[in-house]
Structure 1
């Protein structure tokens, strides 16, 4: 009996340890940096202390850092990728010449190359061996960082601020002196899948949450915009009416910034910046840091729209977590960072500026608070952000002609692109798409339409519940697509694995149509056909002569249950349509004289690539 009890105890301990090993965890870092900027020569000296907490169940014998700026030079992997892609390359990285498309990186002058020169790195005071693999630094540890322990790294380095090619660098096209993004040696994320050591080829990022304590010494004439809390606004220019500048012997002042529980710390500096701020009721304090001119006149007009943006986002997708948010003029378009974004400031319209601000601001939800690995799953970040952007834009800038939903244009663009033959699956890593446009459609458009299709399948009320529950369970963590799908299946009660597989892992398309209609006195028999390669449940509606809409739902057998309600009112549920069956017929108790029109998906949410045969006007 004792042996039986002992064996049972061993089994229980083994199960407990196994559960502990598979339990969710996330690493954490604390950065303290002292930065001395030589603005004249576009260089800086850096000192860093990094406390790294290993919350994983694994002992670590190496660590990895990202050195993103090392890619901004001739012959780099980014340069090679642009040259190999040719006309398919990102237009910001390539230039058209009489000899064809050439990489902009190939012509960077040597003194304007990106360089991060590591002088030394130590662990608990002991100097470490490291090797630089372009944008990745591999650091060998003489002793392992034990599970559930904290190690302290110290480091010194210097950097050359690169020519502004992609997101970071000097002298952007609007005249901003320095855009300092992904600018410091940044420890890589470690999770169940191992180290996230993606070479930087121009697209996305991933990192552990961290606290930041940053001192930036720079010429007193500069103003800095950053994602964080400025601890000494009275000692620097721009943030108070009468600052007390106390420059040192080199005519420099020190900016003291802090931030907690963020993925990164980004900043920009310029001598012509102005700083505006306003506080949103039940929201963050917002800073605008930009060059005021006729070209940036819409920034002032955007303030009430930005206010409403944060209020809508808080209500629809969960509350913004940090105390402030900064829109900073800089970079090469728009790119999100912790508590801030870098955007081009010159805009041709208020709507255009707000659309950019809303997209980058929405990344605070889908990339910053819900910190997915955007290098691996860009659609989970860019796509969900695009969905939020269009949702808010539709409310604050409603179209002149009414549309059935905010995503009609995205659906039409997607349908057109599928016919080009260039589509690539959304499952591909961000930097590994062969075609820049294909990447945009896979990540932004198909990622956005993932939620549109999900709302069509499970109902919009359920989709709203899914989005808020996703935030409630995973904010300030690193969720994956499995975590999101788990919530979607729990809320809806449906099996949705088939939908994820078709939409994300393949380029199969939806194409349904009305094949035949037979009228018989007081009834009508309708035959539908699936001409596509991706099955879906089908919403079918009729418009009666007295202007009533009757809604039917044809469930797909793979969901094993179906939505009970949706945006258009009551639904009558018909027999399910097996995914292997090409045609489907059903009879409704309405004759030809009673029907004005009929069709698949009156709401126009279904991503049917050939919707022309989805509707029929009865004459």
Structure 2
């Protein structure tokens, strides 16, 4: 039996101080409503799109030719633009992201001398010709434009009318394909040819929204993308011996596939097991893999209600596929394209298995996958996502391959379906995706490649570092050494704490699903997310958004003392960090029984100390804060009573 060794005088002194504490400094500012989140006609205070919410749209028709010998792209694009905004537009802006690959681009000039992940080639950039911009159906064509860095301003002869006005913008474009494309696109030479990973490959519309008008932030590197939705039809002409995989549906399989490949594709569409469309033995032999033996061949694709498209082309592809089962009963297809160098059961031989499992998990848990195919392409790219298609590192194996495949496919939900502004709020896509990856990895093959996101205390070294930055830091401003934490891990830990500790599974899942459903194919802001989670869960979380997402403080909840009091126990708690938290304690009694005691976060509103009376006639043997260790509490030494850090006399 444990004996509490307190002298009578000490006991009386402690009790006096506990019940006659000096007034505390209030924490009410932490609990005030956070940010400017009042509703308006475009975005409601409840987190829903407002009754006059609007966004513009753009449909694309693109014909592009890959000149393999000269490593060039030549294309023609026609954009059909709809202005749903409440104001006329005298001009529009487009992204020209290939202009990043020049010596004088802002991205090049803001890259450190030693380089970083986002360094790229400097001998590329767009050549634009034959521009034609027409407002309305019968407007006069304009050819007036200004190109500045990675932005292009296109002027009209007459403004594009508000609330449904239309415009057509067409042009020819060409550029040299980068070899090193900022870890997002480029070329990889393998034994059987070159893999061309084509992304940021066409001029695309800049978003005009109700938050800041034209979102013309330049393409520098770390900041990713923010795009409107529309339908894409794109035709890719390549050398006859190439295989092309792309975002969306292949429209002309009978023209680009042999009869045997079409049969294999049809079999894969009904198979849970991976079916090869092109085997390793067939790679490099066009007589077995291609329907024509010379010249060029055109692959035609279409995807609807997407914000972007990407494609890969190579003569070196092994190609396999399997069906994806969706909750509605619809089917999609998982596909993988990779060279012999990536083959094997420890490599891309399991890529389609991973892809299928990933898409099925997210579809069942959060929101149904909307596209006909999910394609994983091996390339010289660490990992980059586009609607319905990933580029992943060709040397990835086992857990690393599962991790990058699952992560990049998770991006189909954030930001491909829920279209947040990645260039400003990396945490709304990377962090949310890292969070859902945790549960996908827990489920896959009974945790074969289980994630460690829940081991939050392993990150306390960074959380206490003097060089740490806030989650809300813009990605292009952030120190690249911090980007993994502020964009990925810390926001993901924030959602993990909400689900596993603060709100609970049922209320969190209801709120998170509501956020996805409300903002699918739309443009949410951080405030829309905060408002939705609070309104659907019924929880005021201003204290959490303020401190964890927009602050730089830490969690340190302490159990400062346990004292006998009137046949029960008095527990002395303290908030020694900057981030308040609800308190969860596991009480273990001498008879072996256990009890979970929970206290709300509001105990910290009046100050940073709180006394709780544990009413029990049992003898307490041990009390432990946060028994499941969900919180990244920076000081575990004050979480347990009696403290394991000293030996009782």
Tell me whether the two structures share a fold, i.e. TM-score over 0.5.
Answer: yes
Q: CA deviation at 1:120?
A: 3.1
Q: CA deviation at 1:153?
A: 1.1
Task: Describe the SS at the equivalent of 1:115.
Answer: coil
Task: Describe the SS at the equivalent of 2:335.
Answer: strand
1:9-408 to 2 correspondences below 5 Å: 23-83=52-112, 90=116, 92-93=117-118, 105=120, 108=121, 113-124=123-134, 126-147=141-162, 148-172=164-188, 176-193=194-211, 194-203=213-222, 204-237=224-257, 240=262, 245-246=291-292, 251-282=295-326, 283-293=331-341, 296-297=344-345, 298-348=347-397, 350-396=398-444, 407-408=453-454
**Structure 1 CA distance, aligned partners of 2:399 and 2:445?**
7
Q: CA deviation at 1:412?
A: 2.5
Q: CA deviation at 1:231?
A: 0.8
Does structure 2 conserve the Cα–Cα contact (< 8 Å) formed by 1:214 and 1:258?
yes
Paired residue for 1:98? none
**Structure 2 CA distance, aligned partners of 1:463 and 1:18?**
21
Name the CA shift for 1:208/1:525 in 2 (closer, same or farther; >3 Å): same
- Aligned residue among 445, 466, 470 for 2:489: 445
Q: CA deviation at 1:168?
A: 4.2
Paired residue for 2:474? 429
Paired residue for 2:285? none
Q: CA deviation at 1:549?
A: 3.0
Q: CA deviation at 1:140?
A: 2.2
Q: CA deviation at 1:80?
A: 2.2
**Structure 1 CA distance, aligned partners of 2:493 and 2:437?**
13
**Structure 2 CA distance, aligned partners of 1:470 and 1:365?**
11
TM-score by length of 2: 0.81
Higher share of residues assigned helix: 1
- Aligned residue among 607, 624, 634 for 1:609: 634
Does structure 2 conserve the Cα–Cα contact (< 8 Å) formed by 1:235 and 1:243?
no
Q: Deviations over 1:379-436 (max 9, x none)?
A: 01100100111111122266799x9x96323x13431102221211111222121x11
**Structure 2 CA distance, aligned partners of 1:216 and 1:335?**
21
Q: CA deviation at 1:521?
A: 7.3
Larger relative contact order (CA 8 Å, sep ≥ 6) = 2
**Structure 2 CA distance, aligned partners of 1:36 and 1:254?**
9
**Structure 2 CA distance, aligned partners of 1:364 and 1:136?**
26
Gaps of 5+ in 2: 1-39, 135-139, 264-287
RMSD: 2.7
Task: Describe the SS at the equivalent of 1:177.
Answer: strand
Name the CA shift for 1:311/1:171 in 2 (closer, same or farther; >3 Å): closer
Task: Describe the SS at the equivalent of 1:154.
Answer: strand
Gaps of 5+ in 1: 1-14, 94-103, 558-576
State whether structure 2 residue 500 is matched by structure 1 residue 490: no
Paired residue for 2:577? 532
**Structure 2 CA distance, aligned partners of 1:129 and 1:359?**
42
**Structure 2 CA distance, aligned partners of 1:400 and 1:47?**
46
| Structure 1 range deviating more: 39-48 or 19-28 | 19-28
**Structure 2 CA distance, aligned partners of 1:17 and 1:271?**
49
Task: Describe the SS at the equivalent of 2:485.
Answer: helix
Does structure 2 conserve the Cα–Cα contact (< 8 Å) formed by 1:61 and 1:143?
yes
Name the CA shift for 1:543/1:16 in 2 (closer, same or farther; >3 Å): closer
Task: Describe the SS at the equivalent of 2:340.
Answer: coil
TM-score by length of 1: 0.84
Q: CA deviation at 1:237?
A: 4.8
